[in-house]
Every structure is written in structure tokens, then in C-alpha cells.
Structure 1
Amino acid sequence: MRFILCLLLGGLTFQTWAETLSFGVVPQQSAKKLAALWTPVLSYLSRSSGIDMQFTTAKDIPEFERRLSRGEYDIAYMNPYHYTVFSQKPGYRAIAKQKDKQIKGIIVVHKNSPAKSLSDLKNATLVFPSPAAFAASILTRAQLAGQKIPFTPRYVSSHDSVYMNVSRHFFPAGGGVLRTLNNMAPEVRSELKILWTTPPYTSHAIAVHPRISQATRDKLVRAMLAMTEDKQGLALLTKLNFKGLEAASDAQWDDVRQLNIHLLDNLLE
């Protein structure tokens, strides 16, 4: 259990954290950008829940996956496919998700691209965040394969890298999601347009490791729901392009499980 120690000194109360919960965020964007967006949110939740949470991430998505497989994060914000994998082992359990949100993958091209449909990308080298990035890579690649459009995938470190590469004409197209595209600097975003969008699926999970007690889980959920109802809290979530947070349950990701994806089965061994 994590707990707070309060010291009374000269009539003043000083609050210190005895322990800290790590909150891992999937590295869809640079660590610097993610820290700037998530640290204020976690500070708010720490104060309101009485449970200290500290932002952390990984250098890239494959490393984040390895850390999830080892259970290194107490709490993690992970993509829908990650959740279906790591809910099996080490047993992460969803407690919350973005409010009123389903995730869609997008394929972006340069604003001056002549491409009008996916078939115009035939035989091209296309850029994606990582093989197991759910909406940005798994869903978009599956659509290309389903339409029998031959292409060569190239993987980079993040969604940001995809957008930068396409905006600079290094690749004709790449995979992403609308939320991360909207979080890009205007000078990059303005150079891109969306060529195609996937069908919707349940969005990212905020999930806890099984070592976290039910009492702690309940406190976290109450704080997240209250944050959505508070003007200051909602303003912080809006910077993430979240409409708010809502409670979640494991079965909500059954739509992703039905896709029968096995890309990360090696991490379950």
C-alpha cells in the first residue's frame, strides 16, 4: 500500500509521500511532450486521491511493451491491443478510459499529395509508429492488406515521427490517430491531410497492475470521475484532447479481442 505521512510543525501541516505509484504512458509522442501533458493531470489526481502518481514512459513502443510484460508500471495508459495482451499476463485490469471515445486509425499524406485513395499507395514504403501500435499500425496495415495493396512498412519511434516524416516528404503516407495528429505543432499538422480512417474500436485503457489493492483502485476511479466534473480538472484533460474520464471494465475490450491479433504472443511466454 502507498500512504501519506503528515507532519505537524509549528501549527503547519506538511504532506510528504511515503511511496509513489508509477504511471506509464504509451510513447505515442516524445517523452518531453507526454510529460508536459500528463504531469499536471497526475499531480491533480495525486492531490485529489491521496495517492502519489509519477509520470514515466519508455524510449519507444516496443520497450513500453516489454516493460508492461514485466509488470514494471503500477498504472499504465496503454493502447487497446496492449490491454488485451497484458490483461492476460501479468494481469493488468482496466479501471478507466477516455470518456465518450472510440479510437480510429488514420492514414495521413502530405497536403499536396496526389493520392486520392488507398490504392494510390500501391508499392509505396509507408511509415508507422511500431508493429503493435493498434489503430495507427495494426488497423491501417490490415486494411491495406485486405484491399490487396502491396506496400513496404517502415517503423519509427512514435506518432510524432510519422507525422514529421510525411510532412517532410520522406514517406508518401503514414499511420496515426486523430488525437495525436491534433496534438502536433500547427506548422506540422497544417502540412498533412487525412487520406483514410478506420472503423472505430474501444479506446486506450488506464489499467492497474494486480498488485494494486482494490481500495487503491477505488480511490483512483473516484478521483478520475471527480476530475471530469471539475472545471480545473477538465481543463487539464482537455489539453490531452480528452472529453473526460469514465470508469471502465475488462469486457469493454472484447471488440479488440475478436480481431484475434497475435503480434505480441511472444511476450506472454
Structure 2
Amino acid sequence: MLLRVGLFLSVLLSFNLFAQTLTFGIVPQQSAKKMAALWSPVLRYLSDTSGLKIQFATAKNIPEFEKRLLAGEYDIAYMNPYHYTVFSQKPGYNAIAKQKDKKIKGILVVKKDSPLTELRQLKGAKLAFPSPAAFAASVLPRAKMAQEGIEITPEYVSSHDSVYLNVARGFFPAGGGVMRTFNNTDPAVREQLKVLWTTPGYTSHAIATHPDVPQQTRQVLIKAMLKMNEDPAGLALLKMLNFKGLEAASDDEWNDVRELDIRLLDHMLQ
């Protein structure tokens, strides 16, 4: 009798694990439509492989995404390195994976026919950035220019794609992004631009789970993500994201970002 009860409870726990729908929040670096097109096939693959129900989610802009992370609205989230150092503290997201063999670098782009050749020529200019706390696309280039005494006025335009479009249209002389989104942006826009400057590399975006996600579920997710590296179909989906693959990750891998001592979002932790 006890054996039957134990078996029933085991089956019930397994059913609850796999019946739950998990929201996977993606940082809105590009339009929701484009991100859904790129990420939904990956999430379907992970759902089919893991037996979990994983649903795409995002936000209208990066500040809204930050609020949702703080509120713990996503069961799983793909967030920039600085966001991870903040929201691993509160509400306590735990890293499980990241892009394989990748260091994230910010870029400043200008029009292809721009006469600008170095950062100091941007002094006094108004530049486009996705948001104040976009790590590689905004925090790093602004910090570098401040260090060099290059005073600029930042204008926040909500996404990486918006930066590229605004610079291509000549509304700003330069703007911040990252190579992955630059390569993924509309070719008609990208072909009008060139990279003026590139930042040093740091640990890339984190894929992290909310602290309420059970350890068993975390392990199932990691296993499904790593399987993509061994499956040509999985690798093809990751290639659409400009990912070489996925690898398991631990919290201390973002200590290089923590050492920068960025305080932009400290008010959210109070």
C-alpha cells in the first residue's frame, strides 16, 4: 500500500512539473515581432525536448523589462550581464546557461559615409542608446567616453533596432548596440552603417531562472539546452540567433561585470 502511495505521489509531482507553463522573458533588444520570430522556434524545441511548456514573453522596452524582472514575472529570463548582477540579488534569479564561447562587446555605429573616425569627434553630440542600463550597448560606451572626457548627451530610443534606424536616417551621428543585434537588424538598415568603435569583452547575457523554479526543472532545462549543441536542427535554430551554441553557467561567471561596480539600478533594490 505504501509503495502504491509513493508511486502515485511521484507520478503526481512529475505531472505538476510538466503541466506548468513557464514564461521565458527575452530582453527587448529588438522589436517584439522580430524577437518572437527568432526565439519562438527555439522555445518550441526546448518544450518538445524537455516536456515542459515554455512560452515566449518580453516587454515593450528595457525599463519595463527591468520592472518585470524585479517583480519576478518571468520563470526564465534572457537578460543582459548587468541586469543579471542586479536581479540575481532581488528577486534572486539563478543563472543556468549562456551563449557558448561568447564575450559580449558593445559597439558604436555611424553612417557608412560618416567622416567620423574616432570617439573624441563625438564630443558635444547627442547619441542614441537603447536604454540607460543596456549593458554593452549603453553602459560601456558611455563609461568609456566619460573616462576620456568626451561629454555627450544620451537619447534613449527603446531598442537596438531603433538605434540603428535612427542613425541610418541621420537623426543621430552615432548610436550604441552590440554585434549580434547589428547582424540581425534589417539588411537595408545595416548596409547604411559601419562600426566606429568596439568595447572590451565581458561575460555575455545570462539565461536565468526565478528562485521559485524547482531544481528538478532547472536540470531538465539545462539538459534540453545542451542537447541543442548536439542536434543539427537545434544548432540551426541557435544560428538564427547568431549563437554558436549554449553552455551551462554559474553565478560567479558574472563577477567581471560586478567588478565594474555599476550603480544605475541600485534604487530598484531598496
TM-score computed with the length of structure 1 as normaliser: 0.94
Deviation >4 Å, runs of 4+: 1-5
Q: Are the counterparts in 2 of residues 2 and 51 from structure 1 also a CA contact under 8 Å?
A: no
Confirm whether residue 165 of structure 1 aligns to residue 166 of structure 2: yes
CA separation of 1:162 and 1:227: change in aligned 2, threshold 3 A: same
What aligned pairs does 1:112-191 form with structure 2 within 5 A after superposition? 112-191=113-192
Instruction: Measure, in 2, the Cα distance between the counterparts of 1:66 and 1:134.
Output: 16
Gaps of 5+ in 2: 1-11
Measured on the aligned residues, the alpha-carbon RMSD in Å equals 1.2
Unaligned ranges ≥5, structure 1: 6-16
Alpha carbons 1:103, 1:200 under 8 Å: kept? yes
Distance in structure 2 (CA, Å) of the matches to 1:214 and 1:171: 47
Deviations 1:114-143 (A, max 9, x none): 001001111100000000000000001001
- Counterpart for residue 9 of structure 2: none
Note if contact 1:80-1:256 (Cα within 8 Å) is conserved in structure 2: yes
Q: Name the aligned partner's letter for residue 208 of structure 1.
A: T
Quote the Cα distance in structure 1 between the aligned partners of 2:14 and 2:74: 18
Aligned twin of 1:200: 201
Question: What corresponds to 1:253 in structure 2?
Answer: 254
One-letter identity of the residue aligned with 2:108:
I
- Map of 1:228 onto structure 2: 229
- Letter matched to residue 156 of structure 1: V
Instruction: Give, in whole Å, the separation in 1 of the partners of 2:244 and 2:207.
Output: 15
Give the share of equivalent positions with the same residue, in percent: 69
Shift of 1:150: 1.2
Partner of 1:32: 33
Q: TM-score, normalised by structure 2?
A: 0.94
> Deviation digits for residues 144-172 of structure 1, max 9, x if unmatched?
11110111110011000000000000100
User: Larger % of helix: which?
Assistant: 2
Partners of 2:196 and 2:93 in 1: CA distance: 35
Contact 1:4–1:50 under 8 Å retained in 2: no
Residues in 2 aligned to 1:164 and 1:3: alpha-carbon distance in whole angstroms: 47
Report how many residues are paired: 258
Residue aligning to 1:76: 77
The answer to whether the 8 A contact 1:3-1:51 is kept is no
